[in-house]
C-alpha cells in the first residue's frame, strides 16, 4: 500500500494514557478482584491490539472479547494473558481455540460437547467458564437446563480434557446501582456455585460485574470484574454520574479537517431536503465525515432542532452544530457570519469535555442512543491515531 492510500481527512485520536488511567481507576474500584478488560467490538472502536497492550500494562490481567476471531487475533499478536470469549455457534474453530489456550464460555450442552470433542482431538485441556442465566434473559444456561448440563459436565470432566475455570453471568441492571434485582442475580449465582460444588466442581473464578457494578456495586465484585465502556472513559450510567464524576477520562477524540469553507447568503437551504435554511448571510464549513463513517443520521439538524454539537477548534474556538442532514460522507456546520476558519482547520466532533469538546455521551443523548453505540459504530475507514504511548516524552495530539 502506498503512503497516499492512508490519507483521510479525519481521524479518531486515541489517547492511550487515558486508557491506562481508566484501567487503574477501575482496578482501584475492584479492590483486589482481578480485572478483565472487555475489548470486544475492536475495543469499542478504539483498536483491539493497542488497547489490549495498554490494559495489560496498566494492571488488567485478563482480556474478554465476544467473538472468537478477536480472541485468536489477540493470541496471534503475541499476547499470552488469559483471554475469555463467549459468542460462537457450531461452526467455530474449536480445535484452534483450544490449541491457542483461549478460555471458552460454555452456555449449552451443544457447546460443551463441541469444546470437549476439540479437547480430545487436540489432546489439550479446554479451559471453560460455565455461563448461567441468573436473570438477564439473554445468554447462559436456563434453570430448566441446569441439571442435565451438570450431569454432562461431570461426565466430561471425568473423561478428561475439561478444566472448569469459571462460573459467570451478566447483570440486567448493572447501570442502576442498588437495584434489588442485582442481589437476586447474585443469589442465583451462589446457588449455581453450590450446585457445582455438590458434584465436586469448584470454579476458581466467579464473575458478574461489568463497568457499572465495578464502580458502584462492590457486593458483586467476586473474583473478577469485567469492565468495558469505562475503560474508554465513558460513563456506564449516565443517569447516575458523568464520566468525570466517576474519575474517568475519554480516550477518543473524533477530529476532522474542514474540507470546504464558503460564504452563503440568507435563505440558503443546506444539504439534502433543505431541512436547515440559513437565516442570515453566513459561512458554511463542510466536515468530511458522514453516516458511512458512523455519524448517526439522527444527528441531522434543522433550524428548530440543532444537530449534534461539535467543537470548532480553529482560531476562535467555540461550539457549533451539525446543520442539515447528515450525508454518507459529509456533514455541514453553519460556522456563523464572523467565521474566520480556513480549509483544513480542525473540528472536533466528540471527545473530552475538559478540552471543550462535546462528549460521546452528548452525541448519544442527541441521537437517542447510548455512548457505546457512538464509538463502536465508528467506521473502519476512519484511521485510528494513537497518542500517549508509554514511552512518549510528550503527547503528539
Ligand atoms: C458479558 C459482558 N461482560 C462485560 C461487558 C462490559 O460491559 P460494560 O461496557 O457495560 O462495562 C459486556 C458488554 O456488553 C458483556 O457483554
pLDDT at 314: 79
What are the two backbone dihedrals, phi and then psi, of residue 21, each rounded to the nearest 5 degrees?
-60, -45
Nearest atom of ligand 1 to the alpha carbon of 44: 9
Nearest alpha carbon to residue 44 among 378, 321, 358: 378
Say which CATH architecture domain 31-232 belongs to.
Alpha-Beta Barrel (3.20)
> Which residue has 482501584 as its cell numbers?
28
Nearest atom of ligand 1 to the alpha carbon of 231: 11
Contact indicator for 51, 22 with CB cutoff of 8 Å: no
Closest C-alpha residue for ligand 1 atom 6: 228
Q: Report the C-alpha gap between 58 and 81 in whole angstroms.
A: 13
> Which residue has 458554511 as its cell numbers?
284
Q: Report the C-alpha gap between 199 and 213 in whole angstroms.
A: 30
Nearest alpha carbon to residue 339 among 228, 242, 248, 262: 262
**Ligand 1 mean position to 85 CA, how many Å?**
12
Q: Which of 155, 198, 262, 272 is catalytic?
A: 272
Count Cβ atoms within 10 A of the Cβ of residue 74 and give its class: 0-12 exposed, 13-18 middle, 19 or more buried. buried
Contact indicator for 142, 99 with CB cutoff of 8 Å: no
**Ligand 1 mean position to 139 CA, how many Å?**
12
Angle at 391 (CA atoms; ends 387, 393), nearest 5 degrees: 75
Q: Report the C-alpha gap between 37 and 47 in whole angstroms.
A: 13
pLDDT at 238: 98
CATH of range 252-387; options 3.40.640.10, 3.40.50.2300, 3.40.50.970, 2.40.37.10: 2.40.37.10
Write down the domain spans for the chain. Answer: 31-232, 252-387
Q: Report the C-alpha gap between 81 and 48 in whole angstroms.
A: 14
> Which residue has 490481567 as its cell numbers?
61
pLDDT at 391: 80
Report the residue among 29, 51, 170 best suited for mutation to probe ligand 1: largest number of ligand atoms under 8 A from its CB. Answer: 170
Nearest atom of ligand 1 to the alpha carbon of 170: 1
Nearest atom of ligand 1 to the alpha carbon of 168: 1
Q: Ligand 1 — pocket residues by CB below 6 A?
A: 38, 170, 210-211, 226-230, 236
**Ligand 1 mean position to 370 CA, how many Å?**
14
Grid coordinates of 40: 470486544
Nearest atom of ligand 1 to the alpha carbon of 229: 9
Nearest atom of ligand 1 to the alpha carbon of 226: 4
**Ligand 1 mean position to 233 CA, how many Å?**
14
88 flagged as catalytic: no
Closest C-alpha residue for ligand 1 atom 14: 228
Q: Report the C-alpha gap between 395 and 386 in whole angstroms.
A: 10
Q: Report the C-alpha gap between 86 and 131 in whole angstroms.
A: 9
**Ligand 1 mean position to 209 CA, how many Å?**
8
Q: Which of 8, 40, 131, 276 is catalytic?
A: 40
Report the residue among 29, 213, 226, 248 best suited for mutation to probe ligand 1: largest number of ligand atoms under 8 A from its CB. Answer: 226
40 flagged as catalytic: yes
Is there a common fold for 31-232 and 252-387? no
Report the residue among 22, 36, 38 best suited for mutation to probe ligand 1: largest number of ligand atoms under 8 A from its CB. Answer: 38
The whole-number mean pLDDT for each consecutive block of 10 residues of the chain, a chain of 397 residues, reads: 80 98 98 98 98 98 98 98 98 98 98 98 98 98 97 98 98 98 98 98 98 98 99 98 98 98 98 98 98 98 98 93 98 98 97 97 98 98 98 54
Nearest alpha carbon to residue 224 among 54, 55, 30: 30
**Ligand 1 mean position to 172 CA, how many Å?**
11
**Ligand 1 mean position to 18 CA, how many Å?**
19
The Cα-based distances of 83 to 65, 158, 272 in angstroms read: 8, 25, 46
Amino acid at each position: 500500500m502506498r503512503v497516499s492510500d492512508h490519507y483521510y481527512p479525519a481521524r479518531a485520536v486515541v489517547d492511550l494514557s487515558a486508557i491506562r488511567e481508566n484501567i487503574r481507576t477501575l482496578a482501584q474500584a475492584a479492590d483486589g478482584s482481578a480485572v478483565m478488560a472487555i475489548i470486544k467490538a475492536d475495543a469499542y472502536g478504539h483498536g483491539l491490539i493497542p488497547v489490549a497492550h495498554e490494559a495489560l500494562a496498566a494492571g488488567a490481567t485478563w482480556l474478554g472479547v465476544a467473538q472468537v476471531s478477536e480472541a485468536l487475533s489477540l493470541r496471534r499478536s503475541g499476547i499470552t494473558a488469559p483471554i475469555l470469549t463467549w459468542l460462537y455457534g457450531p461452526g467455530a474453530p474449536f480445535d484452534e481455540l483450544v490449541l491457542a489456550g483461549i478460555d471458552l464460555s460454555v452456555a449449552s450442552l451443544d457447546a460443551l460437547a463441541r469444546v470437549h470433542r476439540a479437547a480430545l482431538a487436540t489432546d489439550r485441556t479446554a479451559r471453560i467458564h460455565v455461563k448461567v442465566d441468573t436473570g438477564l434473559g439473554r445468554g447462559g444456561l436456563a434453570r430448566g437446563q441446569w441439571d442435565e448440563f451438570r450431569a454432562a459436565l461431570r461426565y466430561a470432566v471425568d473423561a478428561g480434557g475439561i478444566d472448569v475455570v469459571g462460573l459467570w453471568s451478566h447483570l440486567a441492571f448493572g447501570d442502576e446501582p442498588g437495584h434489588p434485582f442485582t442481589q437476586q442475580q447474585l443469589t442465583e449465582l451462589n446457588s449455581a456455585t453450590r450446585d457445582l460444588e455438590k458434584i465436586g466442581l469448584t470454579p476458581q473464578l466467579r464473575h458478574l460485574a461489568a463497568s457499572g457494578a465495578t464502580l458502584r456495586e462492590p457486593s458483586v465484585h467476586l473474583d473478577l470484574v469485567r469492565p468495558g465502556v469505562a475503560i474508554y472513559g465513558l460513563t456506564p450510567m449516565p443517569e447516575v454520574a458523568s464520566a468525570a464524576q466517576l474519575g474517568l477520562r475519554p480516550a477518543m477524540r473524533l477530529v476532522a479537517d474542514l474540507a470546504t469553507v464558503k460564504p452563503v447568503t440568507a435563505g440558503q437551504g443546506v444539504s439534502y431536503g433543505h431541512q436547515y435554511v440559513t437565516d442570515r448571510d453566513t459561512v458554511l464549513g463542510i466536515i468530511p465525515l458522514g453516516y458511512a463513517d458512523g455519524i448517526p443520521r439522527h444527528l441531522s439538524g434543522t433550524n428548530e432542532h440543532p444537530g449534534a454539537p461539535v467543537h470548532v477548534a480553529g482560531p476562535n474556538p467555540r461550539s457549533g452544530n451539525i446543520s442539515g442532514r447528515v450525508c454518507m460522507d459529509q456533514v455541514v456546520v453553519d460556522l456563523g457570519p464572523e467565521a474566520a476558519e480556513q480549509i483544513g482547520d480542525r473540528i472536533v466532533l466528540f471527545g473530552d469535555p475538559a478540552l471543550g469538546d462535546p462528549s460521546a455521551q452528548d452525541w448519544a443523548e442527541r441521537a437517542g442512543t447510548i455512548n457505546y453505540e457512538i464509538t463502536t459504530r465508528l467506521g473502519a475507514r476512519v484511521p485510528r491515531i494513537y497518542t500517549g504511548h508509554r514511552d512518549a516524552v510528550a503527547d503528539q495530539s
